[in-house]
Structures are given as structure tokens and as C-alpha cells.
């Protein structure tokens, strides 16, 4: 497995982002995650976007973080928000998500961020289990889905 940084609008990132949006739609019965995102949010030093490639150089997983500071959506100064964590079905259970998560945490900490935050949903129990087992704890809701009943927010000091 080779994990490397790419722009959020890289063709492989766009492909996997389309796949995760389809999975969100299947799980939640809607059009996917409507959180506004653009490539500039993931450009260092404001963020980072990673793709994991398998031995044949095929993209199998993604994840990114973007800078957040105190605002009217409930973020706090020093936050790094985790976005678009996704592993294709054929690569699940191999520890890829955990490796991307660790790399993103290190990168955000190196960039001066003090806390990693994330939002996921009740219909993603695998994601919740990953975050809880990685030291994340439930926190006050924030972000685009903070008023949705199915939304769950977590945080971890960096």
C-alpha cells in the first residue's frame, strides 16, 4: 500500500469521491454529503488530501483534512476537520483507513492544528467503530449536518 498526497480535484480523488457519495446515498437515501468542499481547502498548509494505492497503483482509499477555526457552525480555533474518509469495498478490513487516519493526524498536528474533528452518521457503524478505537470521543455537534438526528460528531486532541 502506497499513501500519497494528491489534490482534491485529482482524477483518482474525484473517482473515489463519486463512489463514497453513492455509498452515502445508498445508506441514507439521499444525494450524498452536501457539505460544500473545494480543492483549495485541502492545499497545504490549510489541509491535505491523501489517496492509498494498492500494489498495482489502483486507488483504493481516500481521506483528507481541512483547517477550521471558530465560526457559526460550531468549530473551535485550531480544529482540523476530517473529510471524505473512504475505502473501496474490496480493500476494507486491511487497515488502510487506520493508516490514512494516522497520516492525516500527523500532518494536521505538524501544520499546527490542535484537534481533529469529524462528522459521520449513525448508518456508518464501521466508521464510528474506527474512530472510537482510534481515540476519538463524542463531542458537541458542528458543521453542515449539526442539526440532523443521524449525525454524530467526534474529536481527538492532536
Average pLDDT, the chain: 95
| pTM, full prediction | 0.94
What is the pLDDT at residue 18? 94
Residues 138 and 3: their CA atoms lie apart, in Å, by 28
| pLDDT at 36 (0 to 100) | 86
What is the CATH architecture of 2-157? 3-Layer(aba) Sandwich (3.40)
Rounded CA separation 17/85 (Å): 9
Tens of pLDDT, residue by residue over 20-41, are 999 999 999 877 788 889 999 9
Query: Per-residue pLDDT tens for 105-137?
Result: 999 999 999 999 999 999 999 999 999 999 999
Closest CA to 139 of 65, 66, 81, 71: 81
Amino acid at each position: 500500500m502506497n499513501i500519497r498526497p494528491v489534490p482534491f480535484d485529482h482524477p483518482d480523488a474525484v473517482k473515489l469521491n463519486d463512489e463514497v457519495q453513492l455509498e452515502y446515498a445508498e445508506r441514507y437515501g439521499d444525494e450524498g454529503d452536501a457539505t460544500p468542499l473545494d480543492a483549495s481547502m485541502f492545499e497545504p498548509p490549510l489541509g491535505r488530501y491523501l489517496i492509498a494505492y494498492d500494489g498495482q497503483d489502483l486507488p483504493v482509499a481516500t481521506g483528507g483534512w481541512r483547517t477550521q477555526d471558530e465560526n457559526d457552525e460550531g468549530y473551535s480555533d485550531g480544529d482540523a476537520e476530517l473529510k471524505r474518509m473512504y475505502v473501496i469495498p474490496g480493500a476494507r478490513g486491511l487497515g488502510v483507513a487506520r493508516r490514512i487516519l494516522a497520516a492525516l493526524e500527523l500532518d494536521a498536528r505538524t501544520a499546527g492544528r490542535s484537534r481533529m474533528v469529524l462528522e459521520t452518521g449513525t448508518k456508518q457503524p464501521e466508521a464510528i467503530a474506527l474512530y472510537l478505537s482510534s481515540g476519538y470521543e463524542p463531542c458537541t455537534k458542528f458543521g453542515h449536518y449539526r442539526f440532523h438526528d443521524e449525525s454524530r460528531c467526534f474529536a481527538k486532541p492532536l
